[in-house]
Amino acid sequence: METSVNLQKMFKYSAWPVTMAAAALALAVLILILLILGGIIRNKRAGRKNTIREILWSKPDIEKLKQEYLARLLKIEMEFDSDTTKIRPAYEQMSVLIREFVFRATGIEVLKYTLTEIRKTDMDSLADLIEEYYEPEFDKISEGDVKASIENTRKVIGKWN
């Protein structure tokens, strides 16, 4: 008994439906991108600001805020006085402290900003402090004058309006 097998082509259908589906998907993605870009451009032209800040942030009593953060700074200073080898933690705590203070005073989330972004906000005293903190905070060997930095931080908080 003789058996024969006839093999068929692997894909016996037309490539047009697949091509059309891919083209439709590409067109849909392109339209979506254009809509998103159009919305961004319209918002920029309208001069819209970040309304989330205006909704979630309210102006605090600045004198109470200053007193609160000066007390927290004093605590950092006392912790450093008890162990003067902890230079990096002191600078890290001062960096977080001044950034939180500015956020609560202005509503600008400088906790998430880099030094370059802080410089763009025109808060020069904050940018100078953060720059002063950077080397002792991120260097392999932390060296810095913690007492002078604490005093500079105290001055910035005291002069803030």
Domain boundaries, the chain: 16-48, 58-159
User: Could you tell me the pLDDT band of residue 26, with boundaries at 50, 70 and 90?
Assistant: very high
User: Could you tell me the pLDDT band of residue 91, with boundaries at 50, 70 and 90?
Assistant: confident
pLDDT value at position 33?
93
Residues near 104 by beta carbon (within 8 Å), at least 6 away in sequence: 60, 65
User: Could you tell me the pLDDT band of residue 53, with boundaries at 50, 70 and 90?
Assistant: low
User: Could you tell me the pLDDT band of residue 72, with boundaries at 50, 70 and 90?
Assistant: very high
- 3 vs 6, 8, 10, 94, CA distance in Å? 10, 16, 21, 87
User: Could you tell me the pLDDT band of residue 66, with boundaries at 50, 70 and 90?
Assistant: very high
Q: What are 114-155's pLDDT values in tens digits?
A: 888 888 888 889 999 988 887 777 777 667 788 888 999 999
At which residue do the structure tokens 């159009």 appear?
38
pLDDT value at position 28?
95
Q: In terms of pTM, does the model score above 0.85?
A: no
Tell me if 94 sits within 8 A of 150, measured CB to CB. yes
- Token pair for residue 119? 């410089």
Tell me if 109 sits within 8 A of 52, measured CB to CB. no
